[in-house]
Structure 1
Amino acid sequence: MLHRSSPRLLSLSLVSLLALAGCAATDSTASPPEPSTDTHGEIAGAAELAEPALGLTSIDAEGRVSHLDLLDESTADLGTARAPRAVHSDGRYLFAADETGVSIVDSGVWTWDHVDHFHYYRAEARVLGDVDGGGVATVATSNSSTTGGTGVFFPDSGDAVLLDTEALSKGRIEESFRLSREPGAGLVVPVGSFAAVAAGDVVTLHTADGAPTDDSAPCIDPVGTITTRVGAVIGCQDAALLVHVEDEQPVVERIPYPAGATAPRAVAFANREGRPRVAALAGDTGIWVLDTRARAWTLLAAPEPIVQVTAVDDADANLLALTPDGRVLVLDGETGALRAASLPLVAASLAAGANATLVADHQRAYLNGPIEGRLWEIDFADGARIAREFVPERTPTFFAETGR
């Protein structure tokens, strides 16, 4: 394992201590506080930390789960989930899906967003259990790992399931509802205390117990979803739907693609968690950037072919992209111009069709190479420099950055 000391850890500690000074920390040894409407993401039995417990939680092809602590570089075995065909994460949980259901892994580390500062927690890491269904499920999460819901849609059976995320945070798998839809593509997207179910070319809104509201919207061929600080995005053939809550009621807004646009639609959105701007491939010719705050799309020309893109949405408006030959590009999010590029890192994985995935937080990007047997930490603000390279004992077939 290659290790280089990083000033990032010192800066995170200082920022965290300042945040805690501005908002009282929870003493995990004290008596539990009286219930309130704002518990800062606190869960009984969890310890509040002075800095985020960032880690890389990975699942190999056999379903064996490992967690790499990015602070001390120790590795823990978390058990075994089902052998996944796809994995989704919200920054705490990993949802490993195969043709018969979803296994849920709790990394035990998370960040609670208090808008102007954050709280950081650690609890027991474990494999929680399974949710049964037909077909490789699509999973949608919110920005909270302790409240609200988590959506699961099973395409072969048409089961639309909303899980209780608060129950997940306490180690229990509880279904808030399970609705029947026609088999096929679909989404269950949590939105505050509601959920949007996208199936059959329509999006319907439901309360947490599955009761329908009076709200619905057309959505031809719903594919792709992400939750931003503004609301939840659902990709449709000719637009994105932005679903959010105002005055305790769900609101659906339509954000059409620019008039005359001929580029392929967005089908998968990615960004730094919670930020208002998201990015998606526009086929093999460009990049869609959706600003959910401005309710506007921008189409950027990519400087070369890319296979993945994500929006950092930082002060420099960085976009990160992955090329077919395995290089990480740093792009100008306003123009698409190339700012920096790494050496080829995951060429073999991409050539073999393995699941190499690029994710970003506010200071670093992370990339896995299943064929290369590596995980990389990339300083995208410093010329796409490789800050650290890890050689895990188990192949990182799928991974997520957790604790963020």
Structure 2
Amino acid sequence: MKIVIFGIDGYLGWPLALRLAARGHDVIGVDNYSTRRGVEEVGSWSALPIGTMEERLRAAKEVMGVDISFIEGDVTDYGVVKKVMQEKPDAVVHFAEQKSAPYSMMDLDHAKYTFTNNIIGTLNIVYAARDLSPRTHILKMGTLGEYGTPNFDIPETAMVKAIIGDREDEIVVPRWAGSWYHWSKVYDSYNLMYANKLWGLTVTDIHQGPVYGTRTPEIIDERLFTRFDFDDVWGTVINRYCAQAVIGHPLTVYGSGKQIRGFISLEDSIDSIYLLLTHPPEEGEYRVVHQYREAHSVIEIAHIVRNAAAELGMEVSIDHIQNPRAEKEEHYYNPIRRVLPSLGMFGLRKDFRSEVKVMLQDIIPYRHRIEEKRSIIMPRVRWR
């Protein structure tokens, strides 16, 4: 297959490109390096050193023997999107979005950038597909955070029946996002649903939980590392805890720590996306996918990281700090999963605790990079 990855330079984009190229697919990557600039803006860097795109592509060729095409460009530039879509790819993977909730909550300018980048980029892709390649499968990375934490099982569908007063109708599954970033993803989903209804575009709308990890089977050389963010703005909770552990910093749990989320490892995420690309929906279908392996509270995650660190001879404590976010700290949480299990994913349960231990082992050699940025691990952005 010919597959375009918008956002190839990111945490998921790079390992997905390696997976696809290693299995014989024609990969075209597009990126404008906005994540690198955003991480630098808040004074941070990747704990695992990553090369320039030229260095990464050269390493993929030398280590794996694969060629990956690359275009430096912005998804909000319709000319760039149009140029790529003229290649009539079998699939387009859309990762090219501002992905940080704290970044979106910094101030008005960062909120506006998040909406502009995310919503316009998605609109560019659906219009280019309509006009130039209507049979292209659009696979869009969304978030389980679109739904918030409702007191009902979250269906893996676009629409549900609702009774209001004495009338029944179908409505979009209710959403209640928890940041400007998450709201931008909600509007993305609405726009994808509408484009599907108007023009019959084929869409997979993934709602994924937080991702953790350092490796996939293709990352066999440090020159092939994907990024590992750990600061308060860009680092997801498990990555942040692991970074704290290797420098002896207390694991900082926001609030009570009873907030529950659905987590997935980097390897499982790439496996799942590859499976969805090679098993696309029916032509003209809008497919919703809930992509996570297991649900844990953030205090459970902290204990798992602390225990894994202890096995490696590192003693760390757990501190509860004031929650900078506006969120429920105790709630019901159960997103339904049917699509990926029906395709054979999650049949063999990976050992979550062992995966955390591998992460710690991988970042220990680079603890000096984390230590140098110790001051930016504690939260600096508050929702209220």
TM-score when normalising by structure 1 = 0.26
Greater relative contact order: 1 or 2 (C-alpha under 8 angstroms, separation 6 or more)?
Answer: 2
TM-score when normalising by structure 2 = 0.27
